[in-house]
Structure 1
Amino acid sequence: MAQARIQPENGGDVMSNEQIVIEEKAQLDFSQSMSYGDYLHIDEVLNAQHPLSPAHDEMLFIIQHQTSELWMKLMLHELGAAVRCVARDELPPAFKMLARVSRIFDQLVHAWDVLATMTPPEYSAIRPYLGQSSGFQSAQYRCIEFSLGNKNPAMLGPHQHNPQRLAMVRAAFEAPSLYDEALRLLARRGLPLPADQTERDWTQPREPSDAVEQAWLTVYRDPNHYWDLYQLGEKLTDLEDAFRVWRFKHVTTVERIIGFKRGTGGTGGVSYLRKMLEVVLFPELWKLRTDL
C-alpha cells in the first residue's frame, strides 16, 4: 500500500507519514535537553506533600499553605526590588513591582475560597496531627509584615529555633521598610520632613506624623507637579487595600472553620486575627483623604 504524502504549506519537500512520525518522536525526546519538569523541578514540588493523618482533606490543607508560601516568596522578591528602586529614585519599575504585589494579594484572597470548602469536622480530623505548627510561624509572612513597616520585636521569637530563618526575619526587621524609603524619597524631593522620619531606628514601629501627612497633602493637592510621588502614594494605598482584604478573608475563613478556638500556634485564633485588622501600615495616606 502506497504511503500518503503531505505537501507542507511553505512549499518545502513532501513528507511521508513515516517521516512525520519520526520527526514528531524527535521533537518529543527530551533526553538530551531540559524539559518543562526539569526546569520547574516538578518532581520535588509534587513530592513535597506528606500528610500525617488518614484524613482525605489534609492534602487540601497542605497544598493551600505550600502554594501560599510560593506566592509569598514572589511577593518578597518584588517587595525587596521595589524598596531598592524607591531608594534609587527609580519609580516606574517600582510601580510595576508594587502593582504585582497587590495582584498577588488578590490571588491569595481567592486561595482562602478553596480552603473554606473544608468544614469544621474535616479540619477537626487533621488538627491533632498539626502539633504546634501554625501559619503564625511563617517566616516569609513575617518578612512581608516587616517590609511593610509593621515592626514588632516579639515576632522574632517564633523563629529562634531555626538560625537561618531567624537571620532572614531579622534582616527584614532591621532594614528600612517600603514606607520608610518612600518618606526618604519625599525628603530628597524637597518636601519638609523631620529627621526622626528619615533617619531613625528602623526596628521601631512608626507613629502617625502630622509632618508626614502635610508632605503627602502637598503632593495630593498638586498631583501634576508631583505626578510620580502622587502615583507612589496611590500604589502604596492600593497595596494596603489589597492587604486588608486578604486579612479580612483570612479571619473570616478561620472563623468559618474553627470558630473561636485557640490557634495551634498558641495565639487566640480569630481574636488575634481581628486585632491585626486594626493595623494601619500607611496611616498618613489614609488620613489625608479626610483632610483634603
Structure 2
Amino acid sequence: MTYDPSTDGAQMDFQRRMSYGDYLQIDRLLSAQLPLSSAHDEMLFIVQHQTSELWMKLALFELDAARARIASDNTPEALKMLTRIARIFEQLNSAWDVLRTMTPWEYSQFRDDLGQSSGFQSWQYRAIEYAVGNRNPTMLRPHAHRPEIMAKLEAELARPSLYDEVLRRIFRLGLPVPEAVLSRDTSQPWQMDEGVLTAWAEVYRDPARHWEAYELAEKLVDFEDYFRRWRFNHVTTVERVIGFKRGTGGTGGVSYLRRMLEVELFPELWRVRTAL
C-alpha cells in the first residue's frame, strides 16, 4: 500500500498554515541564482559562493555573540559559540572540494562574464577578518561605493576584536597582560607582543590553574586552524583552476592568496608552543 503520512498526523494542507518553504523563504533563495552565460558550470560557481556567504553570515552572528559573552565574563556560553564557528569553517572547507570538480576549460566558459567581481570583495569575509583581529583599513576601499556596508565595517573597526576581548578577560582572571595592550587603539592591526606571549606561556605551563584561559586559547587555535585550512584550500583551488592568471578583481591571484597565508591572527598562541 502507498504510505500516507497524514494517517500518522502529518499536516498536508498549507492553505492557511506556514510551510517549510514559507518559513525559510525558499522561493527567494532559489530565485537568486542568475547565471550570466549559458555555461553549465556557472551554476556551481554561483551556488558555492552564495552558500559560503550564508555560512559567513552565521559565523559573524556567532562571533558577535561570543565577543559579547566574553566581555561580560560569560565564558562557558562563548566557548560553545567558538566551537560552532570552527565547525562553520570546517563546512566552508568542504565547499572547495565541490568547486574543484570544475576544470580550467569549464571555468573559462564564463569567467569573462564575471567582469571585475571577485571573492576578494566579500564584505562579510572582511568583517570576519576585522572581528577576529586582522584589521587592515586599506581593505575598506573596495566597499566605498556602498555606504551602508562601509558603515558596518567601520563600526566593526571601532569595536575591540575577539582577541582583544579575550586578552581583557584573561587579565581580569589575573594574568599579566601588559597595560599597553589593554589600552591600545583596537582599530589598528594586531602586532605580536612579547608580554602577551609571556601571559599565555603561564597559562600553558599550568592549565589546571588557568583552565578558563586555557580553554579560550585552545578554542582560538581551533578557529585559526580551520581558517588557515580555508585559505590554503582557496589557494589550491584557484591555482588548480586558473593557474597563475591575475584574479578577476585585479589581484595577483595565487600570489595574493599565498601572501594571505602568512597572516597570523593570534601569533602568541602559536609561538607559545615553542616557548614551552
TM-score, normalised with respect to structure 1:
0.91
Shift of 1:54: 1.0
Look up the match of 1:99.
83
Look up the match of 2:242.
258
Look up the match of 2:93.
109
C-alpha separation in 1, matches of 2:79 and 2:115? 41
Q: Are 1:60 and 2:44 matched, yes or no?
A: yes
Using a 3 Å threshold, how does the CA distance of structure 1 residues 224 and 47 change in structure 2: closer, same or farther?
same
Q: Are 1:219 and 2:203 matched, yes or no?
A: yes
| Aligned-CA RMSD value | 1.7
SS of the equivalent of 1:27 reads: coil
C-alpha separation in 1, matches of 2:162 and 2:143? 23
Look up the match of 2:65.
81
Look up the match of 1:45.
29
Shift of 1:43: 0.3
C-alpha separation in 2, matches of 1:93 and 1:21? 39
For structure 1, the residue ranges without an aligned partner over 5 or more in a row are: 1-16
TM-score, normalised with respect to structure 2:
0.96
Cα shift readout 1:126-154 (whole Å, capped 9, x = no counterpart): 11100111000001000000011001010
Look up the match of 2:274.
290
Using a 3 Å threshold, how does the CA distance of structure 1 residues 26 and 172 change in structure 2: closer, same or farther?
closer
For structure 2, the residue ranges without an aligned partner over 5 or more in a row are: none
Look up the match of 2:263.
279
Q: Do the aligned residues in 1 keep the contact of 2:6 with 2:12 (CA within 8 Å)?
A: no
Look up the match of 1:10.
none
C-alpha separation in 1, matches of 2:213 and 2:179? 20
The structure 1 segments of at least 4 consecutive aligned residues displaced by more than 3 Å after TM superposition are 20-26
C-alpha separation in 2, matches of 1:245 and 1:21? 44
Match among 157, 167, 191 for residue 183 of structure 1: 167
Q: Are 1:152 and 2:136 matched, yes or no?
A: yes
Structure possessing the higher radius of gyration over alpha carbons: 1
Shift of 1:52: 0.3
Look up the match of 1:206.
190
SS of the equivalent of 2:263 reads: coil
The answer to which structure, 1 or 2, has the higher relative contact order (CA under 8 A, 6+ apart) is: 2
C-alpha separation in 1, matches of 2:93 and 2:6? 47
Percent identity between the aligned chains? 62
Using a 3 Å threshold, how does the CA distance of structure 1 residues 127 and 192 change in structure 2: closer, same or farther?
same
